[in-house]
Amino acid sequence: MTTWAICSYQRIMPSRWPAEDCVSPTMLRIEAGLRPLASVECLRPAHCLSHPGAMLPFCFRAPAPKPRVKEWPMTTLAIEMPSGIAGDMLLAALIDAGAKSERIAAQLAQLGVGPLPLRCQEVHKRGLRALQLHVDVPQEALWRQFPHGADEPQEHSHDHHDHHAGSGHRPYHAIRHLLEHAPLDERVRQRAGRVFRILAEAEAAVHGMAVDQVVFHEVGGLDAIADVVGCCIALEELGVDRVCVGPLLLGQGHVHCAHGRMPVPVPAVQEMIRGRAISTQRVDFASGELTTPTGCALAIGLADSFTLPSGSNVANGVGAGHRDIPGLPGIIRVSLWQEEQEQQETHPRWNGSVHELRAVIDDTTPQDLAAVCNALRAAGARDVWQQTITMKKGRQGSELVVLAADQDCDRLAAMMLSHTPSIGVRRSTWQRWELPRRQIAVTVQGHRIHGKVATLPDGSMRVSIEHDDLVSAAQALGKSVQGIRQQVQAALEDEAQATQQDGEPHASGGQVGTRKI
């Protein structure tokens, strides 16, 4: 919550700013609803009194913006790929369906790798109108300021729909670190993280290495990162709750990439579709690469279902690729759907679902079971826990419970069977009521501490501290956790009030969710 102090020297100082950052009074707009408050706690008298004149005994605080609470009906996005899929094609289609490119670009800038402007133009593919996207990536990007161990940018052309600027080699762990620390909406972070994890797992399997050793080539380029994260931001902009994906069109022939001449589909795409429920189609002519690794990972990683939805079609978008493909339109199509009124009334709040996997174990050690839980979390489980149960003959045992997305169930169940002595896994699907939530952060004497803000049904907010960050900061500062908890909690609550729910910058011009105290 920004508090403004007014002094007779005609300068205005927000209480969160350093003294040298005072700004013109023209930046303050006192509108209906502002109320005067006592100024004892929020002014900086030493600074204001250093100027001629006396300080006015008022400050003004704008009422906190009413949080946007997700209203029913649930919105489902359908993705149809008559000519394959690439990251820039999907992002273009989402923008065509109503997502704002300026807002997406503004949030991409918060990744900390420099500006990533998005240029859209209307084109015609075989007589069909579509939107085509260009991501303007500077050759000398700010990425290289980060200690990621990235190599010099190189020219590649694997994701041929997407990438025309120089693409560097980016290790998976660097991209994961980037996503974890960027001030993104929590669901954007989760979706983008899932897409890159699917890519990394496929590359690791293809090259016979550990996932954390994977170094992306074309997929590591800043334009590919912009495609993936931009698509996830666009889903939030459109209020998408579920994603349904149609069949993938794989193509035939060969393609040249960083590893040389490769058959289509390339090994990474072949690995990603292995064992998954997504259906595929092929054309009967040498069309080249139609589904790129980035596009395939987006389709699989974002999908909640591989069956197209029903209901009321409320918006459509068409994205175009950069190639003209004989016999194919070269487009991707998305559509937004909402359930019919009679469906809405049956479960107006239960707008999410999750799969629960359970296995009963009675002959393993606590140490081994803890290691299995950690492995399942690292593999993408939404949550993992174990609980003690009493089994037949009065024996003590453990029940391992895993929450998983639809596309991860088979893989995680296989891990449960491979890593434990259990001979079976039970699966059930639950509806759930999810509170809207987002992530914020404050900086305490140079130590960044994250928090989560959940919006309750009545519109109020609940703020929780990331405990690991709190412990690390306390240890580094030589203080107890209890000694800084109250200060951090108060700062996070103040930040939650000050941060615009729709992701706009603070009144001070800073980025959302980054405050120093």
Could you report the per-residue pLDDT of 465-498, keeping only the tens digit for each? 999 889 999 999 999 999 899 999 998 998 888 8
**Could you give the C-alpha distances from 399 to 273, 378, 411, 415, 421, in angstroms and in order?**
31, 19, 19, 15, 12
Q: What is the per-residue pLDDT for 434? A: 81
Query: Of the candidates 360, 354, 355, which has an alpha carbon nearest to the alpha carbon of residue 427?
Result: 355
Q: What is the per-residue pLDDT for 258? A: 65
State the pLDDT confidence band at 438, using cuts at 50, 70 and 90: confident
* Lowest-confidence pick of 114-123, 214-223, 336-345: 336-345
Cα-Cα-Cα-Cα torsion 244, 247, 253, 259, nearest 10 degrees, comes to: 30
| Contact (CB, 8 A) for 481 and 444 | no
Element (H, E) at 180: helix 172-181
Q: What is the pLDDT of residues 119-152, one digit of tens each?
A: 999 999 988 999 999 987 765 444 444 433 333 3
| Contact (CB, 8 A) for 388 and 398 | yes
Whether 511 has a pLDDT exceeding 90, the answer reads no
Q: Amino acid identity of 266?
A: V
Q: How many CB atoms lie within 10 A of CB 119?
A: 11
Arithmetic mean of pLDDT, 235-259: 86
Torsion over CA: 484, 503, 229, 72 (sign): positive
Arithmetic mean of pLDDT, 231-254: 90
- Tell me how far apart the alpha carbons of residues 188 and 462 are, in angstroms, rounded to a whole number: 20
- Tell me how far apart the alpha carbons of residues 3 and 99 are, in angstroms, rounded to a whole number: 33
DSSP bridge pairs for 326: none
What single-letter DSSP state applies at residue 434?
P
State the pLDDT confidence band at 88, using cuts at 50, 70 and 90: very high
| Contact (CB, 8 A) for 497 and 473 | no
- Tell me how far apart the alpha carbons of residues 441 and 461 are, in angstroms, rounded to a whole number: 15
- Tell me how far apart the alpha carbons of residues 278 and 269 are, in angstroms, rounded to a whole number: 12
Q: What is the per-residue pLDDT for 375? A: 92
| Contact (CB, 8 A) for 290 and 309 | no
Half-sphere exposure of 262 (CA within 13 A, CB side): 21
- Tell me how far apart the alpha carbons of residues 299 and 243 are, in angstroms, rounded to a whole number: 9
Domain ranges within the chain, ordered by starting residue: 3-61, 75-346, 352-432, 437-516
* Lowest-confidence pick of 97-111, 150-164, 272-286, 404-418: 150-164
Strands (E) in 222-351, as ranges, are: 242-245, 248-249, 251-252, 254-257, 260-263, 280-281, 288-289, 312-320, 331-338
- Tell me how far apart the alpha carbons of residues 308 and 437 are, in angstroms, rounded to a whole number: 27
State the pLDDT confidence band at 340, using cuts at 50, 70 and 90: low
SS3 content of the chain, % helix, strand, coil (to 5): 35, 30, 40
- Tell me how far apart the alpha carbons of residues 51 and 178 are, in angstroms, rounded to a whole number: 44
User: What CATH number labels 352-432?
Assistant: 3.30.70.1380
Cβ neighbors of 358 (< 8 A, separation 6 or more) are 399, 400, 401, 402, 425, 426, 427, 428
Quote the percentage of the chain above a pLDDT of 90: 38
Show the 3-state SS of 384-401. EEEEEEECHHHCEEEEEE
Assess if CATH 3.40.50 describes domain 437-516. Answer: no
Query: Which pTM does this prediction carry?
Result: 0.55
Q: What is the per-residue pLDDT for 24? A: 34
Q: Are strands 437-444 and 515-516 parallel, antiparallel or unpaired?
A: parallel
| Contact (CB, 8 A) for 322 and 295 | no
DSSP bridge pairs for 387: 399
Top pLDDT among 338 and 139 is at 338
Q: What is the per-residue pLDDT for 315? A: 93
Q: How many CB atoms lie within 10 A of CB 45?
A: 12
Q: What is the per-residue pLDDT for 400? A: 96
* Lowest-confidence pick of 429-438, 454-463, 486-495: 429-438
Q: What is the per-residue pLDDT for 139? A: 52
State the pLDDT confidence band at 93, using cuts at 50, 70 and 90: very high
Q: What is the per-residue pLDDT for 218? A: 54
- Tell me how far apart the alpha carbons of residues 212 and 201 are, in angstroms, rounded to a whole number: 9
Q: What is the per-residue pLDDT for 459? A: 82
- Cα 511 from chain centre: 17
